[in-house]
Structure 1
Amino acid sequence: MIRLQPTERARQAMSWLGRHELSTLVGFVLIAAGVWGFVELADEVLEGDTQSLDRAVLLAMRSNDDVTDPIGPKWVEELGRDFTALGGVGVLTMITIAVTGYLGLQRKGRAALVVVVAVVGGLVVSQMLKWQFARPRPDLVPHDSYVYTSSFPSGHAMMSAATYLTLGALLARVHADRRLKAYFLILAALLTLCVGTSRVYLGVHWPTDVLAGWTLGSCWAILCWLIARRLQRHGEMEGAEALNDRSSEQLPSADDRPDAEIQRRVHT
């Protein structure tokens, strides 16, 4: 009995499908792990088991002689305020408007919608959780930034993770170069880390508030990335694969080039 071997195109299709299904599975596993981690952390916070750790980390960022003075020179304090502004509502709103406007001009409405859902949805979830837990702000040190909501989870940490990681993932999706993909994702992660750390440095959040914000914001960004990926696979968003396919379609074949036609006529 003759066994039919799959063609090269079929093997490539199966490889592509397996790779994409695996990444989807990994994404859902990370979301499940993040949600589980947040629930466990929230339970520890409500029971007061994290109080000693929170106090130790918060005081470690203050001068030994004066807890009202953050460690480092004055320019470091100013740098902390600069970084914390990157996770504020005003800055994130302007970034969202700028990005959605650009995507709209590029006629990429689906991608613009993903960005809006990532930012607005993350803000709604953050505010609802703050209202639900109603954890008081740190009272060990004076606040070096104005605050008007409860402490858990950190809105700046969650919103910076949801916004910057989503934008980094979208930019990585529309570029085939792995170096550019890594650059966008690393830059987004660094911005998220700087914003969250600045909240503890300025004394307006407990460390566990920031950790919870990072966890939920990352889960939200992964969910938005999965949505964007699904839209791209159904041809409703343009990704790196589509760009590559379009570029290859636009390249003329050897038989269609003018020089090939001239050589064909000479030989005949």
Structure 2
Amino acid sequence: MLAAIFLAAASALSFGLLVSEMVEGETRAFDKTVLLAFRDPANLAEPIGPDWLASAVRDVTSLGSTTMLTLIVMASAGYLLLDGKRASTVLLLISVIGGSVLSKVMKIAFGRERPDIVPHLMTETSLSFPSGHAMNSAILYLTLGALLARAQNGRRQQAYMFGVAALVAVVVGLSRVYLGVHWPTDVLAGWSVGAAWAMGCMAAAIWFERRNG
């Protein structure tokens, strides 16, 4: 529980600092530099890397899409219910659904437009900050990673479960920048608030479990 509280607090602090810098316009140069680093300087419509990479990145980014996340949540919740883990099912649903609502509210509150300095490699119409893909994938995969880690006895197995979950969330976020549909700070913010939300929910669940255990 202490680890979850620490991670939640650190992530929330990172998000707060990032928002402060973004609102003051201090992140513009960083955002521009990173976005341009993923493009051919002679033709900004062309991403760096071999021809197959853009297609592969689009496949990866789908791991953070609403459709894919919904399917994973439904499958995971069904398994947890069949396994008799009602508390874990409730935690998963509250974490994911609550995080999705929070993401939409924050997008409206900040009202940041999507990048306009490079052509987008896929169509997106919603607002930009924070990245919904980065935030929601961090929430779902970190929550699942934490649940799986708690079911393991060895520390190496626990670290592996949580590490894989974090890696998936990171790769999804990076794909959004590569495709040019998010500023890098959108993704950093999504990771930060997503991790804070997921770990906060996990800490609350552990506290409730011990209190009523």
Q: Which TM-score tier does this pair reach, normalised by the shorter chain?
A: over 0.9
- Between the aligned partners of 2:68 and 2:82, the Cα distance in structure 1 is 21
Cα RMSD of the aligned pairs, angstroms, is 1.4
Which of 142, 146, 166 is the matching residue for 2:119?
142
Count, aligned residues = 213
Residues 88-138 of structure 1 show CA distances to partners (whole Å, capped at 9, x for unaligned) of 100000000000011111121111010001110110111100000010100
Deviation, structure 1 residue 142? 1.3
- Between the aligned partners of 2:174 and 2:35, the Cα distance in structure 1 is 11
Query: Residue 195 of structure 1: SS of its match in structure 2?
Result: helix
1:57 is matched with 34
- Between the aligned partners of 1:27 and 1:177, the Cα distance in structure 2 is 18
Deviation, structure 1 residue 230? 2.5
Query: Residue 86 of structure 1: SS of its match in structure 2?
Result: helix
Deviation, structure 1 residue 177? 2.0
TM-score (norm 1): 0.76
- Between the aligned partners of 1:134 and 1:196, the Cα distance in structure 2 is 20
2:63 is matched with 86
1:31 is matched with 8
Q: Which runs of 5+ in 2 are unaligned?
A: none
Which range moves more in the overlay, 71-80 or 85-94?
Answer: 71-80
Flag as ranges the 4+ runs of structure 1 deviating above 4 A. Answer: none
Deviation, structure 1 residue 39? 1.8
- Between the aligned partners of 1:173 and 1:29, the Cα distance in structure 2 is 17
1:120 is matched with 97
1:48 is matched with 25
Residues 62-106 of structure 1 show CA distances to partners (whole Å, capped at 9, x for unaligned) of 012111001011211111101110001000000000000111111
TM-score (norm 2): 0.95
2:145 is matched with 168
Structure 2 residue 193 is matched with structure 1 residue 216? yes
Deviation, structure 1 residue 234? 4.5
Q: Which runs of 5+ in 1 are unaligned?
A: 1-22, 237-268
Higher relative contact order (CA 8 A, sep 6+): 2
- Between the aligned partners of 2:160 and 2:148, the Cα distance in structure 1 is 10
Which of 180, 198, 203 is the matching residue for 1:203?
180
1:75 corresponds to which letter in structure 2?
A: W
